[in-house]
Every structure is written in C-alpha cells, then in structure tokens.
Amino acid sequence: MGHGDKEAHFWPKRLDFFTKELKTKVNMIAAGNYHCVAVTEDQQLYTWGRGLYGVLGNGGNGESLVPLLNEEFEW
C-alpha cells in the first residue's frame, strides 16, 4: 500500500515518496486494514489506500495507490 502497485506486503516498508519526491520526513502515521494516513514535518496530511466510505477524507470513495495530499484537512 502506497508503493504504486497492488502487491501485498506483510511487513512495514519505507515509502520513498516522502524522502525522495517531497524531501520531507513523516512525523506521525496511522494505518487501518486498507488505508494509511501520515502527517509530515511541515504539518501536511497525506492519505492512501482503499477509499471506501470516505476513509481517505478527500470527499470521495476512490482508491489511491500512492500518498495524496489531503487539502480538505487543516490543522
């Protein structure tokens, strides 16, 4: 989840997205069975995974294979 594919991973695996593409660190992370949420050091919220029932908090039900900035959420 979050690696851009639908392969199953049965252990935690670092996402290069945050360090290589955004050049930021993750301060907090939470995971459910089918989705993840991360807050970066610059207080941005990213969500990814299965979006059923609005769990990604972006107003939709679609899935995201990579972390997406959630612009609906403000600190």
Q: What is the pTM assigned to this prediction? A: 0.83
- For 2-47, what is each residue's pLDDT tens digit? 666 777 777 777 788 998 889 999 999 998 888 999 999 999 999 9
**pLDDT at position 72, please?**
81
pLDDT at 2 (0 to 100):
63
- In angstroms, the CA 12 to CA 26 distance is 14
Q: Strand runs (DSSP E) across the chain, as ranges?
A: 26-31, 35-40, 45-49, 64-69
Take residue 63 and report the two structure tokens written for it.
Answer: 């899935």
